[in-house]
Chains A and B, each alone.
Chain A
Amino acid sequence: MMPVKAFSEEWASAFKDEVNRSSTYKSAAKGWKWTVGLVVEAEPDKHFPESRGVVMDLFDGEARDIKVGPAADAQKCDFVITAPYSRWKEVATKQLDATKGMLQGKLKLKGDLPTIVRYTKASQEMTECTTRVPVAWPDEN
Protein backbone atom coordinates (compact mmCIF):
# COMPACT_ATOMS: atom_id res chain seq x y z
CA MET A 1 0.00 0.00 0.00
CA MET A 2 1.26 3.46 -0.95
CA PRO A 3 1.82 5.86 1.96
CA VAL A 4 -1.03 8.34 2.41
CA LYS A 5 -0.75 11.95 3.51
CA ALA A 6 -1.01 12.26 7.32
CA PHE A 7 -4.50 13.08 8.59
CA SER A 8 -5.94 13.42 5.07
CA GLU A 9 -9.20 11.95 3.72
CA GLU A 10 -7.14 9.09 2.20
CA TRP A 11 -5.59 8.42 5.61
CA ALA A 12 -9.06 8.40 7.22
CA SER A 13 -10.32 5.91 4.66
CA ALA A 14 -7.29 3.61 5.11
CA PHE A 15 -7.61 3.88 8.90
CA LYS A 16 -11.31 2.98 8.73
CA ASP A 17 -10.51 -0.08 6.61
CA GLU A 18 -7.86 -1.20 9.13
CA VAL A 19 -10.30 -0.82 12.03
CA ASN A 20 -12.97 -2.81 10.19
CA ARG A 21 -10.44 -5.54 9.31
CA SER A 22 -9.54 -6.04 12.98
CA SER A 23 -11.35 -8.92 14.66
CA THR A 24 -9.73 -7.86 17.95
CA TYR A 25 -11.32 -4.43 17.69
CA LYS A 26 -14.66 -5.92 16.65
CA SER A 27 -14.92 -8.02 19.81
CA ALA A 28 -13.28 -5.53 22.22
CA ALA A 29 -15.56 -2.68 21.11
CA LYS A 30 -18.84 -4.62 21.35
CA GLY A 31 -21.35 -2.25 22.94
CA TRP A 32 -19.43 0.95 22.12
CA LYS A 33 -21.88 3.59 20.84
CA TRP A 34 -20.15 6.96 21.16
CA THR A 35 -18.37 9.24 18.74
CA VAL A 36 -14.67 9.91 19.19
CA GLY A 37 -12.86 13.02 18.01
CA LEU A 38 -9.13 13.33 17.62
CA VAL A 39 -7.85 16.88 17.57
CA VAL A 40 -4.50 17.17 15.83
CA GLU A 41 -3.06 20.52 16.83
CA ALA A 42 -1.08 22.53 14.31
CA GLU A 43 2.69 22.61 14.38
CA PRO A 44 3.75 24.94 11.59
CA ASP A 45 7.45 24.21 12.15
CA LYS A 46 6.66 20.54 11.40
CA HIS A 47 4.88 21.50 8.15
CA PHE A 48 1.50 20.88 9.75
CA PRO A 49 0.18 24.43 9.61
CA GLU A 50 -3.49 24.03 10.62
CA SER A 51 -5.21 22.01 13.32
CA ARG A 52 -7.41 19.19 12.05
CA GLY A 53 -10.12 17.05 13.54
CA VAL A 54 -10.73 13.39 12.97
CA VAL A 55 -14.34 12.45 13.64
CA MET A 56 -14.91 8.75 14.21
CA ASP A 57 -18.40 7.30 14.16
CA LEU A 58 -17.82 4.01 15.96
CA PHE A 59 -20.67 1.67 16.78
CA ASP A 60 -20.68 -1.78 18.35
CA GLY A 61 -17.28 -2.90 17.06
CA GLU A 62 -17.53 -1.22 13.67
CA ALA A 63 -16.13 2.02 12.27
CA ARG A 64 -19.18 3.34 10.44
CA ASP A 65 -17.38 6.47 9.28
CA ILE A 66 -14.08 8.25 9.85
CA LYS A 67 -13.75 11.78 8.48
CA VAL A 68 -11.11 14.47 8.59
CA GLY A 69 -12.24 18.07 8.90
CA PRO A 70 -11.98 21.14 11.12
CA ALA A 71 -10.81 20.65 14.71
CA ALA A 72 -14.12 22.15 15.90
CA ASP A 73 -16.02 19.15 14.47
CA ALA A 74 -13.90 16.72 16.49
CA GLN A 75 -14.39 18.80 19.63
CA LYS A 76 -18.14 18.13 19.45
CA CYS A 77 -17.72 14.35 19.81
CA ASP A 78 -18.62 12.39 22.97
CA PHE A 79 -14.95 11.66 23.60
CA VAL A 80 -12.21 14.02 22.51
CA ILE A 81 -8.49 13.31 22.56
CA THR A 82 -6.26 16.28 21.86
CA ALA A 83 -2.55 16.43 21.15
CA PRO A 84 -0.13 18.27 18.91
CA TYR A 85 0.74 16.77 15.51
CA SER A 86 4.10 15.39 16.66
CA ARG A 87 2.52 13.50 19.58
CA TRP A 88 0.02 11.83 17.24
CA LYS A 89 2.93 10.95 14.99
CA GLU A 90 4.65 9.30 17.99
CA VAL A 91 1.49 7.27 18.65
CA ALA A 92 1.14 6.22 15.01
CA THR A 93 4.80 5.20 14.81
CA LYS A 94 4.67 3.25 18.10
CA GLN A 95 7.02 5.59 19.91
CA LEU A 96 4.30 6.50 22.38
CA ASP A 97 1.77 4.14 23.90
CA ALA A 98 -1.62 5.88 23.93
CA THR A 99 -2.52 4.67 27.45
CA LYS A 100 0.77 5.91 28.86
CA GLY A 101 0.37 9.13 26.89
CA MET A 102 -3.00 9.77 28.54
CA LEU A 103 -1.68 9.02 32.03
CA GLN A 104 1.22 11.40 31.40
CA GLY A 105 -1.02 14.11 30.01
CA LYS A 106 0.68 13.98 26.62
CA LEU A 107 -2.70 13.14 25.11
CA LYS A 108 -5.55 15.06 26.71
CA LEU A 109 -8.79 13.16 27.09
CA LYS A 110 -12.25 14.63 27.53
CA GLY A 111 -15.22 12.37 28.14
CA ASP A 112 -16.63 9.88 30.61
CA LEU A 113 -13.59 8.18 32.17
CA PRO A 114 -15.23 4.94 33.35
CA THR A 115 -16.51 4.32 29.81
CA ILE A 116 -13.15 4.85 28.15
CA VAL A 117 -11.40 2.72 30.80
CA ARG A 118 -13.95 -0.06 30.22
CA TYR A 119 -12.89 -0.09 26.58
CA THR A 120 -9.11 0.11 27.12
CA LYS A 121 -8.51 -2.96 24.95
CA ALA A 122 -10.55 -1.51 22.09
CA SER A 123 -8.69 1.80 22.23
CA GLN A 124 -5.35 -0.02 22.29
CA GLU A 125 -6.35 -1.99 19.20
CA MET A 126 -7.52 1.20 17.52
CA THR A 127 -4.05 2.65 18.14
CA GLU A 128 -2.57 -0.52 16.63
CA CYS A 129 -4.71 0.07 13.54
CA THR A 130 -3.22 3.56 13.07
CA THR A 131 0.28 2.03 13.13
CA ARG A 132 -0.65 -0.27 10.23
CA VAL A 133 -1.49 2.62 7.90
CA PRO A 134 1.61 3.69 5.91
CA VAL A 135 1.89 7.45 6.25
CA ALA A 136 3.80 10.18 4.44
CA TRP A 137 4.63 12.58 7.27
CA PRO A 138 4.85 16.25 6.24
CA ASP A 139 7.95 16.87 8.36
CA GLU A 140 9.80 14.03 6.66
CA ASN A 141 9.40 15.17 3.05
Chain B
Amino acid sequence: MARRKLERDPQAELVAYSDQEPSAFASMLGGLIEANIRSNPAKLEDFDRLVARVGIFVTDIEEGVTLDFKGGRLVVHNGLEATRTITIRAEAETVMSLSNLRIGPLGMPIYFDEVGRGVALKLLKGRLKIDGLIPNVMTVNAVTRVFSVT
Protein backbone atom coordinates (compact mmCIF):
# COMPACT_ATOMS: atom_id res chain seq x y z
CA MET B 1 0.00 0.00 0.00
CA ALA B 2 1.36 3.39 -0.92
CA ARG B 3 1.01 6.12 1.68
CA ARG B 4 0.34 9.66 0.65
CA LYS B 5 -1.68 12.62 1.83
CA LEU B 6 -4.07 14.18 -0.64
CA GLU B 7 -5.44 17.71 -0.77
CA ARG B 8 -8.83 17.16 -2.25
CA ASP B 9 -11.82 19.09 -3.50
CA PRO B 10 -14.76 17.77 -1.42
CA GLN B 11 -16.77 17.43 -4.63
CA ALA B 12 -13.99 15.50 -6.37
CA GLU B 13 -14.96 12.25 -8.00
CA LEU B 14 -13.87 9.40 -5.77
CA VAL B 15 -15.49 6.49 -7.57
CA ALA B 16 -15.63 5.96 -11.32
CA TYR B 17 -16.96 3.13 -13.44
CA SER B 18 -14.99 1.73 -16.36
CA ASP B 19 -18.05 0.36 -18.16
CA GLN B 20 -20.56 2.58 -19.89
CA GLU B 21 -23.32 0.57 -18.23
CA PRO B 22 -22.11 -0.53 -14.81
CA SER B 23 -23.84 -3.71 -13.60
CA ALA B 24 -26.23 -3.42 -10.67
CA PHE B 25 -23.64 -5.16 -8.51
CA ALA B 26 -20.89 -2.75 -9.61
CA SER B 27 -23.12 0.27 -8.94
CA MET B 28 -24.10 -1.07 -5.55
CA LEU B 29 -20.53 -1.74 -4.38
CA GLY B 30 -19.24 1.53 -5.81
CA GLY B 31 -22.14 3.43 -4.25
CA LEU B 32 -21.67 1.73 -0.91
CA ILE B 33 -17.95 2.48 -0.74
CA GLU B 34 -18.46 6.09 -1.86
CA ALA B 35 -21.13 6.66 0.81
CA ASN B 36 -18.86 5.09 3.45
CA ILE B 37 -15.79 7.16 2.66
CA ARG B 38 -17.70 10.41 2.28
CA SER B 39 -19.30 10.00 5.70
CA ASN B 40 -16.33 8.71 7.67
CA PRO B 41 -12.90 10.44 7.70
CA ALA B 42 -11.14 7.31 9.03
CA LYS B 43 -12.44 5.31 6.06
CA LEU B 44 -11.36 8.11 3.73
CA GLU B 45 -7.82 7.87 5.13
CA ASP B 46 -7.80 4.14 4.42
CA PHE B 47 -9.16 4.82 0.96
CA ASP B 48 -6.42 7.38 0.26
CA ARG B 49 -3.74 4.84 1.17
CA LEU B 50 -5.25 1.83 -0.54
CA VAL B 51 -3.62 0.63 -3.74
CA ALA B 52 -4.93 -2.79 -4.74
CA ARG B 53 -7.07 -4.57 -7.30
CA VAL B 54 -9.78 -6.45 -5.48
CA GLY B 55 -12.04 -8.96 -7.19
CA ILE B 56 -15.38 -9.88 -5.67
CA PHE B 57 -17.27 -12.79 -7.19
CA VAL B 58 -20.75 -13.69 -5.97
CA THR B 59 -21.00 -17.41 -6.55
CA ASP B 60 -24.79 -17.81 -6.42
CA ILE B 61 -25.48 -15.14 -9.04
CA GLU B 62 -22.23 -15.77 -10.95
CA GLU B 63 -21.42 -12.09 -11.12
CA GLY B 64 -18.20 -10.35 -10.27
CA VAL B 65 -16.67 -6.93 -10.07
CA THR B 66 -13.14 -5.63 -9.81
CA LEU B 67 -12.47 -2.76 -7.43
CA ASP B 68 -9.32 -1.00 -8.57
CA PHE B 69 -8.20 1.13 -5.64
CA LYS B 70 -5.70 3.72 -6.84
CA GLY B 71 -4.80 5.58 -3.64
CA GLY B 72 -7.65 8.07 -3.29
CA ARG B 73 -9.65 6.95 -6.29
CA LEU B 74 -11.61 3.83 -7.11
CA VAL B 75 -12.42 2.47 -10.54
CA VAL B 76 -15.11 -0.20 -10.57
CA HIS B 77 -15.12 -2.70 -13.43
CA ASN B 78 -17.90 -5.09 -14.36
CA GLY B 79 -16.51 -8.63 -14.06
CA LEU B 80 -13.18 -9.91 -12.84
CA GLU B 81 -10.22 -8.13 -14.41
CA ALA B 82 -6.76 -9.66 -14.70
CA THR B 83 -3.93 -9.23 -12.15
CA ARG B 84 -5.87 -8.89 -8.94
CA THR B 85 -4.24 -8.50 -5.54
CA ILE B 86 -7.01 -10.42 -3.78
CA THR B 87 -10.20 -12.10 -4.92
CA ILE B 88 -13.15 -12.75 -2.63
CA ARG B 89 -15.58 -15.50 -3.64
CA ALA B 90 -18.77 -16.05 -1.66
CA GLU B 91 -22.54 -16.20 -1.86
CA ALA B 92 -24.53 -12.94 -1.92
CA GLU B 93 -25.52 -13.20 1.73
CA THR B 94 -21.89 -13.64 2.81
CA VAL B 95 -20.73 -10.68 0.72
CA MET B 96 -23.36 -8.57 2.45
CA SER B 97 -22.27 -9.83 5.87
CA LEU B 98 -18.67 -8.80 5.08
CA SER B 99 -19.89 -5.23 4.98
CA ASN B 100 -21.49 -5.72 8.39
CA LEU B 101 -18.24 -6.76 10.07
CA ARG B 102 -17.55 -4.44 12.99
CA ILE B 103 -14.18 -2.79 13.16
CA GLY B 104 -12.42 -2.95 16.50
CA PRO B 105 -9.34 -1.44 18.12
CA LEU B 106 -6.34 -0.93 15.81
CA GLY B 107 -8.68 -1.10 12.84
CA MET B 108 -8.98 -4.89 12.97
CA PRO B 109 -12.25 -6.52 11.95
CA ILE B 110 -14.03 -8.15 14.92
CA TYR B 111 -14.50 -11.89 14.44
CA PHE B 112 -15.96 -12.76 17.84
CA ASP B 113 -19.43 -11.21 17.60
CA GLU B 114 -22.35 -12.85 15.75
CA VAL B 115 -21.52 -11.43 12.31
CA GLY B 116 -17.77 -11.98 12.75
CA ARG B 117 -18.20 -15.58 13.89
CA GLY B 118 -20.44 -16.25 10.88
CA VAL B 119 -17.82 -14.84 8.51
CA ALA B 120 -14.97 -16.76 10.20
CA LEU B 121 -16.97 -20.00 10.04
CA LYS B 122 -17.65 -19.52 6.34
CA LEU B 123 -13.94 -18.92 5.78
CA LEU B 124 -13.10 -22.13 7.64
CA LYS B 125 -15.74 -24.13 5.76
CA GLY B 126 -14.59 -22.81 2.40
CA ARG B 127 -17.86 -20.99 1.71
CA LEU B 128 -15.89 -17.75 1.72
CA LYS B 129 -12.66 -17.90 -0.25
CA ILE B 130 -10.11 -15.12 -0.36
CA ASP B 131 -7.39 -15.75 -2.93
CA GLY B 132 -4.21 -13.90 -1.98
CA LEU B 133 -5.23 -13.53 1.67
CA ILE B 134 -1.98 -14.65 3.35
CA PRO B 135 0.47 -12.23 1.69
CA ASN B 136 -2.09 -9.38 1.75
CA VAL B 137 -3.69 -9.53 5.20
CA MET B 138 -3.24 -5.79 5.76
CA THR B 139 -4.84 -5.02 2.39
CA VAL B 140 -7.78 -7.32 3.21
CA ASN B 141 -8.24 -5.50 6.53
CA ALA B 142 -8.10 -2.09 4.82
CA VAL B 143 -10.64 -3.20 2.19
CA THR B 144 -12.88 -4.54 4.96
CA ARG B 145 -12.72 -1.19 6.77
CA VAL B 146 -13.62 0.74 3.61
CA PHE B 147 -16.38 -1.74 2.82
CA SER B 148 -17.82 -1.93 6.35
CA VAL B 149 -20.98 0.03 7.10
CA THR B 150 -20.61 -0.25 10.87
Verify B97–A103 contact, CB threshold 8 A: no
Q: How far is the CB of A98 from chain B (nearest CB, A)?
A: 10
Chain A residues within 8 Å of B60, by CB: 100
Q: Least Cβ distance of A82 to chain B in Å?
A: 12
Known: A100-B61, A118-B100. A113 touches B92 (CB 8 A): no
Whether the Cβ atoms of A99 and B93 lie closer than 8 Å is: yes
As a 0/1 sequence over residues 16 to 42 of chain A, the CB contacts with chain B under 8 angstroms (1 = contact) are: 000000000000000000000000000
Q: List 20 A-B contacts (CB under 8 A).
A: A97-B93, A99-B96, A100-B60, A100-B61, A103-B61, A103-B63, A103-B92, A104-B25, A108-B24, A109-B28, A113-B31, A113-B35, A113-B149, A114-B39, A117-B32, A117-B96, A117-B149, A118-B100, A120-B93, A120-B100
B interface list, Cβ under 8 A from A: 23-25, 28, 31-32, 35-36, 39, 58, 60-61, 63, 92-93, 95-97, 99-100, 149-150
Contact check, B58 vs A103: say whether CB atoms are below 8 A apart.
yes
A112 beta carbon closer than 8 Å to chain B: yes
B96 surroundings in chain A (CB, below 8 A): 99, 117, 120
**A residues engaging B (CB < 8 A)?**
97, 99-100, 102-106, 108-109, 112-115, 117-118, 120, 124
Nearest opposing residue in chain B for A113, CB measure: B32
Which of A102, A112, A120 gathers most chain B CB within 10 Å?
Answer: A120
* Cβ-neighbour of A102 out of B28, B36, B99 (below 8 A): B28
